[in-house]
Amino acid sequence: MSFLSQVRGRPVFDADGARVGTLRDLLITGDAPYPPVTAVVVGDDAGLHAVPWSGVASVTPRGAALKRSCRAASFPPPADDVIWLARDVLDKQIVNTTGARLVRVNDVALAQLDSELRVAGVDNSTQGLLRRIRLGRLVLSRAAPRLIDWEQVDISPALGEIRLRVPYDRLQRMHPADIAEVVSQMSPAEAADVLEAIDDETAARAMAELPEEHKAAVLTAMEPEEAADVLEEMDPDEAADVLGDVREERAEELMALMEPAAADEVRNLMAYDEDTAGGLMNTSVVTVPQGVTLADAIAAVRRASGEGHEISQVYVVDADDHVLGHISLAALLVNPPGVSVKAVMQSDIYTVRIDDTDEEVARMLVHYGLLSVAVVDAEDRLMGEVTIADAIDLFAPRAWRTRPRRAHA
């Protein structure tokens, strides 16, 4: 096992032991597991040359040796769009997928396997830092540093221009809440790059989990089209919250790019204060008149669900949108489809006024142990519902919520 910092800058010798240049970097291709070094970048007076691995006899901390008949100067300069370990990975920030952490690469561990030199892992220890300034021996413990296995990291955030070759594969497989955790450690621009690269649905779920203050900045940093796509995938109340925090021209620009129906819904929700029931509620509620059957109600749920809305129950309303009762999804499933909704609906309905404070809504949910409450206007007409998921931030312990990553600015 050796480290990139130990071989970089070392002399490169030809088969006769004559010095031909300096080892400047190692090239890898991103998609292989524990990727082998494909070429060694050798620098001499004429510039940089990419000597393919087949022409390299060895790379050690004492220096690198080329095979007989291999002349470094005869190889072309290295291509820009491959991964250079020192230039593109060393010192950059990458994602440790197991810990959901953004880590700084202090060094890269290399392992010789048969005739290949492979990338084994990433060193982000203090020992790695000291090794970089040639003080590695100062460390009291001689134990090997704790490395992060290469298969557990996603280096895409470090790659910038050439990241298309490694499209956030491992990061994308993380849970959206963990993606949010990682992304919240990044600057808004870096976070925007990640959310643009992963699929819209995952991005929307991760966006919803971001700390409040971070959301608007990330949305501002994203490409407008990508941002609009992500907003469409978000719950309308959450999309409205984020849009309420960005500059007005920007919010208008994004809503113009969204599907008109989704944009309208968000626009309507933005009319309510964030800290009222109106600001918390979701307007995509399924309602049915009291004369219909369960089969009709099920059809309505299917339709709404097909449009991407999350449905927890069906509300039964009269012609003026006054709530008469509600039916749980379980009740829809277990009762015969021909039964009238009126026969199975629960008429003990909990409602809050649209201008009630968010705290009152949360108290009601907790006090009665509800999964959701209906939101009505001054004339008792149904306007939407607040689920426990919408309100959870209000009663989760303060310490569980993430606060702004950077307190300055």
Partner 1 sequence: MPSPAEEERASPPALVVARRRPRHLPLYQRLAIPLALMGPGLLTGIVDNDATGITGYSIAGAHFGYSMLWALLLSAVALATIQQTVARMGAVTGKGLADLIRERFGVAISLMAMVTLLIANAATTVAEFAGIAGASEIFGISRFISVPICALVIFLLVAYGSYRRVEMVLLAVSIVSGAYIVTGFLAGPDWGSVAHGYLVPSIRFNLPYLTVLIGLIGTTITPWEMFYNQAAVVDKGVGEKDVKMVGLDAYAGSIIMAIVASFIIITTAATLWAHGEPANTVDDVSKALRPLAGSFASELFAIGLLNASLMAMAVLPLSTAYAVCEAFGWERSVNRGVREAPAFFGLFGAILVAGALAVLVPGVPLIFLMFLPNVVGGILLPVILILALRLVNDRRLMGQFVNSRRQNVIASTIVAVLIILSTIYMVVAILSLFGWVQT
Could you list the residues that contact partner 1 (CB under 8 A)?
Answer: 90-93, 103-106, 124, 129, 132-133, 185, 187-190, 192, 211, 216-221, 264-265, 268-273, 278, 281, 283-293, 296-297, 299-300, 303-304, 309, 321, 354, 377, 382-384, 402-409
Q: Where are the beta strands (DSSP E) in 244-330?
A: 286-289, 313-317, 323-328
CB of 222 to partner 1, least distance (A): 8
Longest dimension (CA), the chain: 95
Distance of alpha carbon 72 from alpha carbon 283, whole angstroms: 67
User: Judged by CB, which is closer to partner 1: 57, or 149?
Assistant: 149
Task: Give the contacts of 333 (CB within 8 A, at least 6 positions apart).
Answer: none
CB of 18 to partner 1, least distance (A): 29
CB of 159 to partner 1, least distance (A): 12
Q: Beta-carbon neighbour count of residue 334 at 10 Å?
A: 10
Two tokens at 336?
A: 């015969």
Contact criterion met (CB below 8 Å) for 334 and 393: no
Q: Cα–Cα distances in Å, from 49 out to 27, 39, 115, 159, 188?
A: 11, 9, 21, 21, 37
Rounded to 10°, the helix 358-368/388-395 angle is 100
User: Judged by CB, which is closer to partner 1: 70, or 159?
Assistant: 159
CB of 353 to partner 1, least distance (A): 12
CB of 354 to partner 1, least distance (A): 8
CB of 389 to partner 1, least distance (A): 19
Contact criterion met (CB below 8 Å) for 26 and 40: yes
Q: Which residue has the tokens 């931030």?
A: 393
CB of 23 to partner 1, least distance (A): 16
Distance of alpha carbon 379 from alpha carbon 175, whole angstroms: 42
CB of 202 to partner 1, least distance (A): 20
User: Judged by CB, which is closer to partner 1: 58, or 93?
Assistant: 93
User: Judged by CB, which is closer to partner 1: 4, or 65?
Assistant: 4
User: Judged by CB, which is closer to partner 1: 111, or 292?
Assistant: 292
User: Judged by CB, which is closer to partner 1: 114, or 379?
Assistant: 379
User: Judged by CB, which is closer to partner 1: 57, or 324?
Assistant: 324
Contact criterion met (CB below 8 Å) for 283 and 295: no
User: Judged by CB, which is closer to partner 1: 75, or 84?
Assistant: 84
Task: Give the contacts of 209 (CB within 8 A, at least 6 positions apart).
Answer: 176, 177, 179, 180, 181
Indicate left, alpha or beta for 90 from its phi (over 0: left) and psi (-120 to 50: alpha). Answer: beta
